[in-house]
Structure 1
């Protein structure tokens, strides 16, 4: 007698619990947000002081104007996107903010055993330091805010770090997909959210070699390089997989997975891969007719 084994059915598509949970207290009562931010900032400052006293974390501080010899990664990010004409002044102001923030990061060296905090190096983006009202994302919409736009610099740094042996310790993504993919270069889901000082990008050097960031603003692009002293034996390729748009209760969500493949630089062979992140976020624009949206209801 032939035994027939049941075929495993694919798991039903569901949304993460955080997207279907009731709104947070500060979402229901926005007037409480400033107080909540003060609490978060106080906790982060306490952590920074404690880590310094105990020596638990060695923070990267040294800046070197001389380049390390090996350019491991280089990337450019377009400064101005074609958005609502009424918001273009925020885009131009963003360039001012990026120029200030990039100058703070430029040349910073992460020595073996050291940890880089984006917020610690760049600092608080205030008017006193020359920052202006730029575009920032809040609850899925673009709005004006002092220092707006520096997330683009964090995105650039994060993308370069993903193509290196450095370890991402902390990174927060945006909870919304705010813009269609027109002109997108990097995969959706590799960006960073930055809020001084408690929403941060933190990277640790667990290798035996120093790494150096070079960041600057050009005429059209925000530029970045990640440099080191010896070229690693591996290279890395980051890609998005299983991209889907899902509709539930009248709202559209986007999900994907970010994977990193490890390649032997000498032979070109694929020697490993890892899942970096599973993303799912609310889409705040209507997907175009060429985008398939799966109905979960």
Structure 2
């Protein structure tokens, strides 16, 4: 996490580009192989242990609805997403991150195969969406990332969405506060640089995906995540880009603010016509 703000982006990077299916296939294979090699050669110690008993103190919790009505999207996408989430949360629930260990979303989940029970769900694809095996798991990575921003854990790898596909609708969190994922090259990695052991607790209710970061000791700090510089720009090549910066305020146990940290900046190509009065909240 950088402590400096200041938005910098190159407009041309976000101009839509047409890529053949063959080129996408080759690119995916290359980046997956690169990640496999990294896993084989890294000196990182990855979290892989579970503890059956939940740690006493909830450091931060969050929940997101399992079903949302999205324009021109059949509900079977979301029904299948829930099936995929049920499999994924079983793999991640009660994982602990000891001091010095790194949580890797894909290292723990592995590939989303039919053999494991995964089904086709919604996969965002170059500004639109399509069916894909294991689709919908970004909701889980989004949840974990958002919760982590409210803890002293350190995000060491996170990828932002390059496209803003759906208009805001009853959303509360800042735009760009999620973490997109694609096996295995778009990972979410979180390192425990503290002296405490943390535990991830994730589960589904009938209506929501729920998550908690827990620890044996109560939190020493509290975090308030917010956005700055939210704006929409019309680019010279005809598209609209949405921008913002994510910060967080840090408070000690007495409630005094002790820091104001820059987290990241987001730039995304809007795939819908921006409204004159745009709500700035977004729930990932």
Do Structure 1 and Structure 2 share a fold, with TM-score over 0.5? yes
Asked if the contact 2:249–2:259 (Cα under 8 Å) also holds between the matched residues in 1, the reply is yes
What residue is the counterpart of 1:173 in the other structure? 160
1:258 aligned to which of 246, 254, 276: 246
2:179 aligned to which of 167, 192, 195: 192
Instruction: Return the alpha-carbon distance in structure 2 between the equivalents of residues 163 and 110 of structure 1.
Output: 16
Instruction: Return the alpha-carbon distance in structure 2 between the equivalents of residues 245 and 96 of structure 1.
Output: 35
Q: Counterparts in 2 of 1:27-42, with a 5 A limit? A: 27-42=18-33
Is 1:183 the counterpart of 2:170? The answer is yes
Q: How far has the Cα of 1:86 moved from its partner?
A: 4.5
Cα distance, 1:268–1:39 mapped onto 2, change above 3 Å: same
Structure 2 residue runs of 5 or longer lacking an equivalent are 1-5, 280-284
Cα distance, 1:86–1:271 mapped onto 2, change above 3 Å: closer
Q: How far has the Cα of 1:179 moved from its partner?
A: 1.3
Q: How far has the Cα of 1:113 moved from its partner?
A: 0.6
Structure 1 residue runs of 5 or longer lacking an equivalent are 1-12, 293-297
Is 1:238 the counterpart of 2:210? The answer is no
Is 1:139 the counterpart of 2:130? The answer is no
Q: Which has the higher contact order (CA 8 A, sep 6+)?
A: 2
Asked if the contact 1:174–1:192 (Cα under 8 Å) also holds between the matched residues in 2, the reply is yes
Q: How far has the Cα of 1:57 moved from its partner?
A: 0.8
Q: How far has the Cα of 1:182 moved from its partner?
A: 0.8
SS of residue paired to 2:272: coil
Q: Please report the RMSD computed on the Cα atoms of aligned residues, expressed in angstroms.
A: 1.9
Instruction: Return the alpha-carbon distance in structure 2 between the equivalents of residues 21 and 75 of structure 1.
Output: 33
Q: How far has the Cα of 1:28 moved from its partner?
A: 3.3
Work out which of the two has the higher radius of gyration on C-alpha atoms and give 1 or 2. 1
What residue is the counterpart of 2:262 in the other structure? 275
Q: How far has the Cα of 1:27 moved from its partner?
A: 4.0
Q: How many residue pairs were aligned? A: 273
What residue is the counterpart of 1:201 in the other structure? 188
